[in-house]
Every structure is written in structure tokens, then in C-alpha cells.
């Protein structure tokens, strides 16, 4: 018994110590869930699969550009092109939309923060791909275009652009490029991208970068260069290059195409230079009233409207937009009892929706309170609206499918108007170019194109395509007065830049708040 006892004691102690020895762990995690960078000293060793990371960065662009919030809100909702009035409780959203339209935003504004975070993050991810040794030359060119686009949006919206090296961890405060430094950086990336990217002819699927996509962005940057570098006036050489770039794009078969609203359907066309795989649902539902429906699709969100003064830029009857009201093609038309149907329009208008709306059978629609759904040009105020105030905009029509992943980001008619503008900025006469477009769109030719005609034409052609803020600033009109703008903001040039988000300032002491905030 005693012997057994001792044996047991021995074995149990032995077991105890073996277990102890075996169980001591170095606490390393295993790569079962993710690829762990095996680094020494925390350095960056590259992304695991550059092609896959490039793909995911496109997915990020698509989702960033799909939302009605964030960058879209910066570029569209802060302009005369769009107003999201508060309707009863609806679209109050803590004042986030009102502050944008009235130009009374603060550095705490959520969309401003998200825009900053989204596009800086995209830039960093592109840097990681560029700095990876296994990245091919073609992949590097694509990633440089991705970085240029990302940094372009930050430069355009915020002025300064922070930059973080790929091996700099959270303890490093990123350095900050001035707007001029950022401009040079972006131009260098774009030139590298153009050199390394393949050409893509018009009519092909256009979800990724190509030489032409990069050239479009380069033209855009050069056209705005005098704003970014603060020189105040366009440089003739830059303007010449803009025109050359547009001509080079055209040489690949890109051209103006007739049938304005067909461009926003999914069929290939010669205008789409870069199309993004973003659902166009937001673009549709933002513009539709709850009671407007398409088969298998619920009604809209009844929020987004445009200002009367923007609608008045178009020719045609000032108060109705039915067929035959003398409007040009781009203002669209509203189906009425005579032409609403269940196959080509579901009773939902194209372009600008004003006046009594009808369903697919041609019966007049009512709002949710039972009043006639007559969309009105005027608003009582930015708050206190009912469901019917405000003209709505439908550019992507649900008859083409509400869920298509086909949002146009770069379009040739924009390039065409950039060329016209570059010509005008370098002392030429753009009338022929502008009228070429106007004639195609069924608008009356202009005898002699003025500066105002140029910005108005861009508004008419490119409304809600996320360029309005950029255009207004270039034409010095972003600070002009419009309905419901805070009077103190009128003429305030500091509004041309968004504030550095409050939490970004806290996170990086190298950042200095933009003037005026």
C-alpha cells in the first residue's frame, strides 16, 4: 500500500511537471484566420497578393462613390444643385444635410470625417500595393492611378494631404503635404500610371483603370491646377495639355453620344470612360417619392430635391415638365395620364420631376396623407416641409433596373466640356464645341459662349454626377448666394475648403486647421 502510494505520488508529480513544461507557451498567434506579416522590427513586407488588393481597393471606391453621403454629399449637397429639406421628421438626420446646404458645417461633421477617412485610407492601401516587391509594373501603374484618384479627392476637398509611409505604424504622425506638394505628387503618379496602363477603346466594359481613365483624371487635375497651386489663373500650357489629353481620349473612339437618358442605362456606349460597379439604387431612391414604385421595387426615400434656380437653368416651361413643354432633352419629362405606362416608364419621370405625378396606369398619385402628389418648385423653409415640396431628379431610371451596378464616374461629355473650357481659358472661343453638345441634346445653340454659359452648360450636362462643387469653385461661384444659404457664408472664400475633421486634427499634430474654421 505504501509503495503504491509513493508510486502514485511520483507519477502525479511527474505528470504535473511534464504538463507544466509542455503547456508553457510563447503566446504566438497562428495564421489560421489571416495571413500574418512575418516581420522583424515591425517593418512592412508587402501585401500578399497585389492583384487581389487592387481588386479590393476598387470595391472600396465603388462603395465610397455609391453612397449619397460623404464624398457625394461634399460634391453635390453643398451646391445649388441639391437640397435635402427636412420634411416633418424625415431627413432631419440631426441636421447633417441642412448644415451642408447652408454652408454652416463644422469640423465635427460626420460626412467630412468619413470623406477624410475613406480617401486617405484608399491612398494608403494603394501605397502598400506600390511598395510591394512582388507587384508587377502594370499593377504598380494601376495602383498609382488608384492613389492619384484618392489623393486627388483629399486635395480637392481639404487642400492639404497627409502622407504615411507604408512601414509607419500608429505611433508615427503622418507628414502633411501642402496642396502644391500634393498636386506635384498626384501629377507624378498620374504620369507614371498613364505610361504603364493599357489603352482601352470605347464601348468595352470600363470598371477598371486604363490609359484613358488616367488621362481623364490628369485633364481634370490640370484644368483645376490654378486653383490648387493658388496661382489664380490657368496656365496656357496646362490648358493645351488638357485639350491634347481629351483628343487622345477621343482617338480611342470615345465621343459624344445621342440619347441622353440611355447613357445611364447599362448598355455600352461611347461616352463611358470609367464606370463603377456601384449600385445605382441610391441615385434612384434619393429622387423618388414613397408612392412612386417600380415592379418588385419599393418606393423611394422622398428626400433629395433641387433648387428652383438650378431648374431654371434649363429651357422649357418654368412650371411643368410634361412632354411638349418646350424643354431640352436633358431636363427630361414627366409622364402624365397620356403617356404613363407599365413598360417604358412605370409612370416615373426622367430628369426633373415637377407638378402632378402619375402612376404606371396614368392615375394621379397622392402623397401619404392623401393629398395630390404635386411636386412644387418652392420650399417654405429648409425645415417644416411636407412631402410635396421640391423638384426631384431621376437620372438613372428604374425602368433600366433599380439595382444595376453601373454608375458612371468619368464621362466623355465632361471631357468634351473640359476641352471647351480649356480652350476658353487659354483665350479661344469654345462656342462650336459647346453647341456641338447642345445640338445633340436638343438645346438651342448659343451664339457666343460666355463664362457663365460654360458653368451653366456643365450644370445642365453633368447634374448629380458629383462635379458641381469642383466646377463652382473653379468658376468662383461656390460662395455665391443661393436659397437657404447661411448669409454669413455668402462670399466666404474659406468655404472653398472643407475643415480638417476635428478628430483628424487630434490624431495628427502635424495637421493645421484650414483658415476660417
Partner 1 sequence: MKFNLLKQLMFFVIMLSGSIIFGQTVTGTVTGDDGPLPGVNVIEKGTTNGVTTDFDGNYSIDLTSSDAVLAFSFIGFTSQEQTVNGRSVINVQLIVDAQALEEVVVIGYGQTTVKDATGSVSAVTSEEFNKGVIASPEQLIQGKTAGVQISNSSGEPGAGIALRIRGTTSVRSNNNPLFVVDGVPLSGEASSAEGSDIGFGTSGAKNPLSFLNPNDIESISVLKDASSTAIYGSRGANGVVIITTKTGKGSQGGLFEYSAALSFAKAADTYDLLNRDQFLAGLNQFGLDATANDFGSNTDWQDVVLRSTVSHDQNISYSNNYGDGAIRGTIGYAKQEGIIEKSSLERLTGRVNANHRFLDDKLKLNAQLSISQTKDESPPLSGSAGSKGDLLGSAYSANPTWPNDPTFNLEGNRNPANFLAYTQNESETNRQLLNFSAEYDFTNEFTAKVNVGYDHSNSTREAIASALIDNAESGTSGNGAGFINDIEVSNKLLELTLNYSKEFENSKIEALVGYSFQDFKREGRNVEGWGFISDNMNQMASALTAAANEAEGTIDGSFQQYGYGPNLPNGFVNRLFPTATSNDLNYTNSAVRSVVGNTFDFTDELQSFFGRVNYTIADKYLFTATVRADGSSKFGSDNQYGVFPSGAFAWKINEEDFMGDSFSTLKLRLSYGITGNQDGLGHGNFVRRERYADPGISDGGDVNPPGLTAVSFANDKLKWEETTSYGIGIDFGFANDRLTGTFDFYRKETTDLLLRTTSAQPAPQPFVFENIDATVLNQGIEFSLDYDIIQSEDLNWNANFNIAYNDNELQDFAGAIEAGTIRGPGLSLAFSQILAGGQPLFSYYLRQFEGFDANGQGIFTGGVDNQTFVGKSALPEITSGFSTSVSYKNWDASLYFAGQFGHYVYNNTANAFFTAGNFGTARNVTPNVLTSGESTSAEASVSTRFLEKADFVRLQNASVAYTVPLKEDGAIKSLRVSITGQNLFLISDYSGLDPEVSTNPDDAGLLNNLPTAGIDYTSFPKPRTFTLGLNMTF
**Window 317-376: residues binding partner 1 (CB under 8 A):** 366, 368-371
487 binds partner 1 (CB under 8 A): no
Laid out side by side, the sheet with 332-333 consists of 332-333, 350-353, 392-394
Q: Which stretch binds partner 1 (CB under 8 A): 18-26, 180-188, 247-255, 414-422?
A: 18-26
For 279, the enclosing helix (H) or strand (E) is strand 272-279
* Residues 177 and 186 sit within 8 Å (Cβ to Cβ): no
- When binding is defined by CB under 8 A, the residue of 90, 181, 248, 456 that contacts partner 1 is 90
34 binds partner 1 (CB under 8 A): yes
Q: Which stretch binds partner 1 (CB under 8 A): 157-165, 189-197, 344-352, 471-479?
A: 157-165
φ, ψ of residue 408 to 5 degrees: the values are -85, 125
How many residues lie near partner 1 (CB under 8 A)? 111
Nearest to 353 by CA among 343, 338, 344, 365: 365
User: Quick one: 149 or 249, whose CB is closer to partner 1?
Assistant: 149
Distance of closest approach, residue 91 Cβ to partner 1, in angstroms: 6
C-alpha span between 198 and 117 (Å, rounded):
30
Distance of closest approach, residue 427 Cβ to partner 1, in angstroms: 39
Q: Which of residues 274-303 bind partner 1 (CB under 8 A)?
A: 277, 279, 281, 290-291, 293, 296-299
Q: Which stretch binds partner 1 (CB under 8 A): 106-114, 323-331, 423-431, 489-497?
A: 106-114
Residue 408, strand partner residues: 275
Distance of closest approach, residue 481 Cβ to partner 1, in angstroms: 20
Write the DSSP symbol of residue 33.
S
164 binds partner 1 (CB under 8 A): yes
Nearest to 148 by CA among 50, 245, 74, 218: 218
Distance of closest approach, residue 426 Cβ to partner 1, in angstroms: 35
Distance of closest approach, residue 121 Cβ to partner 1, in angstroms: 6
Q: Which of residues 376-395 bind partner 1 (CB under 8 A)?
A: 380, 383-387
21 binds partner 1 (CB under 8 A): no
- When binding is defined by CB under 8 A, the residue of 10, 136, 201, 516 that contacts partner 1 is 10
Nearest to 409 by CA among 213, 146, 116, 203: 213
User: Quick one: 155 or 433, whose CB is closer to partner 1?
Assistant: 155
181 binds partner 1 (CB under 8 A): no
Q: Which stretch binds partner 1 (CB under 8 A): 105-113, 185-193, 196-204, 443-451?
A: 105-113
User: Quick one: 93 or 235, whose CB is closer to partner 1?
Assistant: 93
Q: What angle do CA 93, 99, 103 make, to 5 degrees?
A: 165
| Centroid of chain to Cα 502 | 22
Q: What angle do CA 379, 385, 387 make, to 5 degrees?
A: 105
516: left (phi over 0), alpha (psi -120 to 50) or beta: left
C-alpha span between 412 and 200 (Å, rounded):
14
In the structure grid, which three cell numbers stand for residue 429, read together?
472661343
Side-chain half-sphere of 60: how many Cα atoms within 13 Å?
21
For 374, the enclosing helix (H) or strand (E) is strand 374-375
Per-residue string for binding with partner 1, 70-89, x by CB under 8 A? ----------------xxxx
Q: Which stretch binds partner 1 (CB under 8 A): 58-66, 182-190, 320-328, 437-445?
A: 58-66
513 binds partner 1 (CB under 8 A): no
Within 8 A by CB and 6+ apart from 298, the residues are: none
128 binds partner 1 (CB under 8 A): yes
Residues in the chain: 517
- When binding is defined by CB under 8 A, the residue of 361, 439, 444, 507 that contacts partner 1 is 507
Q: Which stretch binds partner 1 (CB under 8 A): 95-103, 182-190, 209-217, 329-337?
A: 95-103
User: Quick one: 123 or 227, whose CB is closer to partner 1?
Assistant: 123
In the structure grid, which three cell numbers stand for residue 455, read together?
458653368
C-alpha span between 474 and 224 (Å, rounded):
7
Q: Which stretch binds partner 1 (CB under 8 A): 41-49, 266-274, 332-340, 459-467?
A: 41-49
* Residues 157 and 115 sit within 8 Å (Cβ to Cβ): yes
C-alpha span between 20 and 17 (Å, rounded):
5
User: Quick one: 126 or 437, whose CB is closer to partner 1?
Assistant: 126
Amino acid at each position: 500500500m505504501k509503495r503504491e502510494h509513493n508510486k502514485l505520488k511520483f507519477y502525479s508529480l511527474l505528470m504535473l511537471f511534464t504538463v507544466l513544461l509542455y503547456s508553457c507557451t510563447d503566446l504566438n498567434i497562428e495564421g489560421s484566420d489571416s495571413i500574418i506579416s512575418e516581420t522583424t522590427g515591425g517593418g512592412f513586407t508587402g501585401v500578399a497578393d497585389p492583384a487581389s488588393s487592387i481588386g479590393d481597393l476598387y470595391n472600396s471606391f465603388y462603395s465610397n462613390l455609391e453612397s449619397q453621403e460623404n464624398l457625394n454629399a461634399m460634391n453635390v449637397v453643398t451646391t445649388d444643385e441639391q437640397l435635402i429639406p427636412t420634411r416633418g421628421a424625415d431627413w432631419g438626420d440631426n441636421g447633417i444635410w441642412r448644415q451642408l446646404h447652408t454652408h454652416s458645417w463644422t469640423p465635427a461633421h460626420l460626412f467630412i470625417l468619413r470623406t477624410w477617412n475613406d480617401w486617405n485610407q484608399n491612398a494608403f492601401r494603394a501605397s502598400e500595393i506600390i511598395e510591394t516587391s512582388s507587384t508587377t509594373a502594370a499593377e504598380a501603374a494601376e495602383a498609382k492611378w488608384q492613389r492619384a484618384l484618392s489623393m486627388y479627392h483629399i486635395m480637392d476637398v481639404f487642400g492639404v494631404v497627409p502622407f504615411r509611409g507604408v512601414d509607419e505604424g500608429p505611433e508615427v504622425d503622418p507628414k502633411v503635404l501642402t496642396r502644391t506638394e500634393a498636386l506635384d505628387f498626384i501629377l507624378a503618379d498620374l504620369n507614371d500610371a498613364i505610361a504603364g496602363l493599357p489603352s482601352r477603346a470605347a464601348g468595352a466594359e470600363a470598371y477598371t483603370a486604363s490609359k484613358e481613365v488616367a488621362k481623364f483624371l490628369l485633364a481634370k487635375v490640370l484644368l483645376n491646377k490654378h486653383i490648387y497651386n493658388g496661382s489664380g489663373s490657368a496656365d496656357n500650357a496646362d490648358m493645351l495639355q488638357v485639350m491634347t489629353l481629351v483628343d487622345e481620349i477621343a482617338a480611342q473612339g470615345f465621343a459624344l453620344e445621342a440619347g441622353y437618358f440611355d447613357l445611364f442605362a447599362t448598355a455600352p456606349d461611347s461616352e463611358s470612360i470609367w464606370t463603377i460597379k456601384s449600385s445605382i439604387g441610391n441615385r434612384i431612391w434619393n429622387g423618388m417619392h414613397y408612392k412612386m414604385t417600380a415592379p418588385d421595387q419599393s418606393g423611394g426615400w422622398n428626400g433629395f430635391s433641387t433648387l428652383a434656380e438650378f431648374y431654371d437653368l434649363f429651357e422649357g416651361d418654368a412650371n411643368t415638365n410634361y412632354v411638349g413643354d418646350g424643354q431640352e432633352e436633358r431636363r427630361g419629362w414627366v409622364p402624365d395620364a397620356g403617356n404613363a405606362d407599365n413598360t417604358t416608364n412605370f409612370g416615373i419621370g426622367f430628369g426633373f420631376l415637377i407638378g402632378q405625378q402619375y402612376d404606371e396606369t396614368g392615375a394621379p398619385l397622392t402623397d401619404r396623407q392623401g393629398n395630390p402628389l404635386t411636386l412644387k418648385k418652392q420650399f417654405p423653409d429648409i425645415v417644416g416641409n411636407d412631402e410635396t415640396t421640391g423638384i426631384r431628379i431621376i437620372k438613372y431610371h428604374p425602368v433600366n433596373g433599380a439595382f444595376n451596378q453601373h454608375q458612371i464616374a468619368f464621362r466623355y461629355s465632361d471631357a468634351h466640356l473640359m476641352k471647351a473650357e480649356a480652350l476658353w481659358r487659354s483665350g479661344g472661343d469654345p462656342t462650336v464645341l459647346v453647341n456641338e453638345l447642345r445640338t445633340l441634346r436638343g438645346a438651342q445653340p448659343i451664339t457666343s459662349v460666355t463664362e457663365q454659359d460654360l458653368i451653366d452648360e456643365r450644370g445642365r450636362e453633368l447634374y448629380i454626377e458629383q462635379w458641381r462643387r469642383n466646377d463652382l469653385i473653379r468658376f468662383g461661384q461656390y460662395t455665391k448666394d443661393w436659397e437657404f444659404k447661411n448669409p454669413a457664408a455668402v462670399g466666404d472664400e474659406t468655404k472653398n475648403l472643407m475643415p480638417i475633421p476635428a478628430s483628424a486634427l487630434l490624431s495628427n499634430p502635424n495637421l493645421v486647421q484650414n483658415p476660417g474654421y
